[in-house]
Each structure stands twice: as C-alpha cells, then as structure tokens.
C-alpha cells in the first residue's frame, strides 16, 4: 500500500481538489490511503472560532459562518447540483459543530479546542471523498478516530501504538482508494484528540508504519526538498536523496522539511518518504530513505529569524560552571525559551534563543539578579550543514557576524542584518 498526504494548501479550493484527482489519475489510486488536512487556512479560522467561544465574543456566530461560506463555495464550484448528497453531509457536520458550541459544558480549553478544530479535517475529507466518488473512483471515507487511539493529552496527544496497530491491521480494505483525516485521533472515551499543529504528516507515518506501507508521499507545491529556501538564496537546488539521519539533523536545526516525529516510525521500518510536486506528480522529487546522506552533496542552509542572542557573565568574575548552567537552563525551560545554540567560555555563556511566547523580560528579571546579562534582539541564526568556505561567505556577506560555531559537519552563524 502507498500512503499519500495532501496538506491544506493542496486542497484550498475547487481547483486544488480537482488537481488531487488529476494526481491520482496519473500515479494510480489502487491500494492507496490518502491523508488530508483541513482546507487552506481552515485550522486557523477554527482557532478563531475557539477564541471567540471562550471570549464569549459576539463574533462567534459570524466566525462560524465564515468557515461555512468558504466550504460552501468549494462545494458549489465542485458539484454545482445542490441535490448531491455531499451538501447534506457537510451541512450535518456544521450542525454538529454548532450543537457542540451551544451545549458544551467543559471549561477545559484543550479539550474544547480538539472537539472544534477537528471539523476542518472531517469536512475536507468528506468533500474530497465525495468528489472522487463523483468522478467515478471507488472510494472509502474512513473516520481516523476509529483507527488512531491516543491518550487524553488534548492538542498534543500521544499515540497508543498497540491499539492503533490492531485497529489498522483489522479494518483497512486494500485495493481501493481510502481517504481519511490527518492530525486527529481519539482517546479512551472516544473524544477527539489532535496530534499537534501540522500533525498530518505524522498521521501518514503512523498509518505507513502499521500497514508496512511501500512508501509515503507528501504532495507539495514545491518540487521537493531544496538545500536552501529559494526566497532567500539564489541557486537553491533540489535534493534527490536524503538519509533518515540527515533529515533528522536538518529538522533538528529547524529545516521545515519533515518533523523528526514523522521520520522515526518510517526509519524504523525503512519505509521511504517522498516529497513531490502536486503540479508535476511524475517528477521524482526528493526521497528520504536508506542510502547516501545527501545527493547531490551540497551545503544545506537553514535560517531562523527573530532570535535573541543572550550573553551571561558572572558578576564577580567567577567561572560559569555546571551549577549555574543547570540553573540557567531550568529558567529557559520554565519560560519556554527555545535554545538553538550554546557557546561558553570561562566567565561567560552565550545562547541564541527563540522567545515564541514573549517571556524573555520576565526571565531576564530573574537572571539579572545573579548574572550580568547582555542581549541583542532580532538576530538571525544561520545553520549550514556540510558547509564550505563559499557557503559561509554567502551567509556572512554584508552582515555583522556576532557569533560563529563550527563542528565537523555543521557551521552556525549568528548575524545582525546591516
Ligand atoms: N490542519 C492541521 C494544521 O493546520 C494539521 C495539518 O495541516 O497538518 O495544523
Ligand atoms: Mg495545515
């Protein structure tokens, strides 16, 4: 079996859905399981609904109507005939969502979040599978919540592999086109859970693992994985092959390639992962698989903007040692500052961190009692895997280098744009 994943951008409108059909026509749809995300920016729109719900905002109803209108337009563009049963099916799903909003009693934000946000995927798969049937492909719509079982950590659920394996082995029909939701699962009490934002790739990996699939393909609007973001680098090239290990390294340094969580189950069974273009589905794209680390062997650039470079030094010229470092990291952890680079000398300690939640000021108030704290805001962290002189030059040109760190395969450079 082959597992395909189509993300939100690939199904953002009627043309996108039709294109999924065209991709399947070209690459085949027998013995295929398709995992689909919510359409376009629906997950964000539903997060807005959730916010309005908890704020008791007057905008609640209109935010729901907006999501409805968006999907209705896609339905009209695809089916025209309002008597097609897909209209009723999608209507029922919206009615269920509205019923939940009117009757829910749980004050648990994360629980409520999952119950609401899941409609994005439930609706997108309903539309897609109805369209495939409409076009004459024998399709089975599956409710992923009957397959992927998780604990009750809403918004970041942990998969129960044993139960999930059992459900998948028993209940998936081969030989036909199966379509199901990414991102979702269900807990012991059958309440909906989610696997974390952008979790649909992970869903594909879970199914592939449990099905001993032949491969996973992630269909994207780019030709595959590039060695650099073409928006920032001239001469970005397509990578044909990346080993699992190298892909995990790239993901660790922040490449938006593929999440390590997605790679682990695939690597365990050596199931290849392809990243391909949904515009040119017959091109080879990138394979993440067993084999050479990187082909072609090129420096890979990863850019993280909006970082904070913090230098801590002891007030009394004493060394910064294990005890201080463990305390400093304890604080970073507590304030959710993500550390992306570390460098230390005898009396000073520098880190490049990401302050996603705007906690640095609070953290700094505590740090400043014990250390002399210097920091620079809005710096950029460049990581070059398999660096060479020329690659480093490209990064350093016209910039002020604040810090540089080199290990065998990786160079990291913190810069301030001039
Ligand atoms: N729809 C979810 C999200 O936007 C899951 C996904 O797309 O992978 O986060
Ligand atoms: Mg998405």
Q: Kindly report the three-state secondary structure assignment for every residue of the chain.
A: CEEEEECHHHHCCHHHHHHHHHHHHHHCCCCEEEEECCCCCHHHHHHHHHHHHHCCCCCHHHHHHHHHHHHHHHHHHHHCCCCCHHHHHHHHHHHHHHHHHHHCCCCCHHHHHHHHHCHHHHHHHHHHHHHHHHCCCCEEEECHHHCCEECCCCCCCCECHHHHHHHHHHHCCCCCEEEEECCEEECCCCCEEECCCCCHHHHHHHHHHHHCCCEEEEEECCCCCECCCCCCCCCCCECCEECHHHHHHHHHCCCCCCCHHHHHHHHHHCCCEEEEECCCCCCCCEEECCCCCEECCCCEEEEEEEEEEEEEEECCCCCCCHHHHHHHHHHHHHCCCEEEEEEECCCEEEEEEECCCCCHHHHHHHHCCCEEEEEEEEEEEEEEECCCHHHHHHHHCCEEEEEEEECCCEEEEEEEEC
Which of 22-36, 89-103, 239-253 has the weakest average pLDDT?
239-253
d(CA 62, CA 70): 12
Distance 198 CA to ligand 1 centre (A): 4
According to the model, what pLDDT value does residue 191 have? 98
What's residue 344's pLDDT? 85
For 306-346, what is each residue's pLDDT tens digit? 999 999 998 887 777 788 889 999 999 999 999 999 998 87
Lowest average pLDDT, out of 50-54, 168-172, 345-349, 394-398, goes to 345-349
Average predicted confidence (pLDDT) for the chain = 95
Q: Do residues 33 and 242 make contact, with C-beta atoms less than 8 angstroms apart?
A: no
Point out the ligand 1 atom lying closest to the alpha carbon of residue 203: 8
> Quick one: what percent of the chain has pLDDT higher than 70?
100
248 HSE (CA, 13 A, CB side)? 13
pLDDT in tens, 371-380: 999 999 999 9
Given a cut of 80, whether residue 418 has pLDDT beyond it is no
Lowest mean per-residue pLDDT among 90-99, 107-116, 190-199, 247-256: 247-256
**β-strand 300-314 against 348-354: which pairing, if any?**
antiparallel
Q: What is the pLDDT of residues 43-82, one digit of tens each?
A: 999 999 999 999 999 999 999 999 999 999 999 999 988 8
Given a cut of 90, whether residue 234 has pLDDT beyond it is no
Read off the pLDDT of residues 118-154 as tens digits, 9 standing for 90 and up: 999 999 999 999 999 999 999 999 999 999 999 999 9
- Residue 342's CB is within 10 A of a number of other CB atoms, namely 14
Dist. CA 391–CA 283, nearest whole Å: 28
C-alpha of residue 114 to centroid of ligand 2, in Å:
15
Domain spans in the chain, listed from the N-terminal domain onward: 2-220, 300-417
Instruction: Judge whether 354 and 337 are in contact, CB under 8 Å.
Output: yes
> Do 383 and 276 touch, CB atoms closer than 8 A?
no
Return the best residue to mutate from 6, 7, 10, 37 for the ligand 1 pocket (most ligand atoms within 8 A of CB): 37
Global confidence as pTM: 0.91
pLDDT of residue 315: 84
Mean pLDDT, residues 166-195: 96
If you measure from the C-alpha of residue 199 to the centroid of ligand 1, how many angstroms do you get, rounded to a whole number? 6
Return the residue whose CA atom lies nearest to atom 5 of ligand 1: 198
Q: Give dist(CA 375, CA 308) in Å, integer.
A: 7
For residue range 264-292, list pLDDT tens digits in order. 999 999 999 999 999 999 999 999 999 99
Contact yes or no for 111/150 (Cβ under 8 A) = no
Residue 171 pLDDT: 87
Min mean pLDDT across 214-223, 319-328, 387-396 is at: 319-328
pLDDT at 255: 80
Our mutation pick for probing the ligand 1 site, out of 5, 8, 48, counting the most ligand atoms within 8 A of Cβ, is 8
How much is the pLDDT for 214? 98
- Mean pLDDT for 214-219 is 98
Using only the alpha carbons of the chain, give its radius of gyration: 24
Neighbours of 136 (CB within 10 A): 8
Atom of ligand 1 nearest to the CA of 197: 9
Q: At residue 383, does pLDDT exceed 90?
A: yes
Ligand 2 is a single-atom ion; what residues have CB below 5 A from it?
A: 8, 37
**Position with higher pLDDT, 256 vs 213:** 213
Ligand 1 nearest atom to the CA of residue 120, by list position:
1
Provide the pLDDT for residue 369.
93
Specify the ligand 1 atom closest to the Cα of 198. Answer: 8
Find the 10 Cα to ligand 2 centroid distance in Å: 10
Sheet architecture: strand order including 410-417: 338-344, 348-354, 300-314, 371-385, 410-417, 399-406
Q: Give me the CATH topology for the region 300-417.
A: VC0802-like (3.30.2130)
Mean pLDDT of 198-226: 96
pLDDT of amino acid 135: 96
What dotted CATH number matches 2-220? 3.40.1160.10
Backbone angles phi, psi at 377, to 5 degrees: -90, 165
- What ligand is nearest to the CA atom of residue 181? 1
> What is the rounded average pLDDT of the residues 369-389?
95
pLDDT in tens, 292-309: 999 999 999 999 999 999
Find the 11 Cα to ligand 1 centroid distance in Å: 12
Mean pLDDT, to the nearest integer, of 194-206?
96
CA separation for the pair 349, 2 (Å, rounded): 49
Taking CA 112 as the corner, what is the angle to CA 106 and CA 115, rounded to the nearest 5 degrees?
125
Half-sphere exposure of 149 (CA within 13 A, CB side): 13
Residues with CB under 6 A from ligand 1: 7-8, 37-38, 43, 120, 182-183, 197-200
């Amino acid at each position: 079996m082959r597992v395909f994943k189509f993300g939100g951008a690939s199904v953002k409108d009627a043309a996108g859905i039709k294109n999924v059909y065209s991709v399947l026509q070209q690459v085949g749809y027998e013995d295929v399981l398709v995992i689909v995300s919510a359409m376009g920016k629906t997950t964000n729109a539903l997060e807005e609904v959730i916010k309005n719900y908890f704020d008791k905002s007057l905008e609640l109803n209109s935010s729901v109507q907006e999501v409805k209108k968006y999907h209705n337009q896609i339905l009209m563009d695809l089916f025209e005939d309002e008597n097609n049963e897909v209209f009723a099916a999608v209507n029922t799903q919206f009615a269920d969502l509205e019923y939940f909003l009117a009757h829910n009693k749980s004050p648990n934000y994360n629980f409520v979040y999952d119950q609401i946000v899941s409609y994005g995927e439930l609706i997108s798969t309903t539309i897609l599978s109805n369209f495939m049937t409409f076009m004459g492909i024998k399709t089975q719509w599956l409710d992923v919540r009957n397959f992927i079982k998780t604990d009750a950590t809403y918004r970041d659920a942990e998969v129960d592999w044993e139960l999930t394996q059992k459900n998948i082995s028993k209940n998936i029909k081969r030989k036909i086109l199966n379509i199901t939701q990414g991102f979702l699962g269900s807990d012991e009490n059958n309440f909906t859970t989610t696997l974390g934002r952008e979790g649909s790739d992970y869903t594909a990996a879970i199914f592939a693992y449990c099905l001993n699939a032949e491969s996973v393909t992630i269909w994207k609007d780019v030709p595959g994985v590039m060695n650099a973001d073409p928006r920032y680098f001239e001469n970005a090239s397509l990578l044909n092959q990346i080993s699992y290990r190298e892909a995990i390294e790239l993901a660790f340094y922040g490449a938006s390639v593929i999440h390590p969580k997605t790679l682990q189950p695939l690597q365990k069974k050596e199931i290849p992962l392809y990243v391909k273009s949904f515009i040119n589905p017959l091109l080879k794209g990138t394979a993440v698989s067993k084999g050479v680390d990187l082909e072609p062997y090129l420096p890979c650039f990863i850019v993280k903007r909006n970082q904070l470079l913090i230098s801590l030094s002891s007030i009394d010229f004493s060394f910064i040692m294990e005890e201080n470092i463990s305390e400093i990291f304890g604080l970073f952890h507590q304030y959710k500052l993500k550390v992306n680079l570390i460098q230390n000398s005898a009396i000073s300690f520098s880190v490049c961190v990401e302050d996603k939640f705007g906690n640095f000021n609070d953290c700094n108030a505590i740090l400043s009692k014990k250390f002399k704290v210097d920091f620079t805001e809005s710096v950029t962290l460049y990581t070059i895997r398999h660096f060479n002189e020329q690659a480093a030059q490209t990064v350093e040109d016209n910039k002020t280098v604040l810090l540089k760190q080199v290990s065998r395969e990786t160079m990291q450079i913190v810069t301030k744009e001039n």
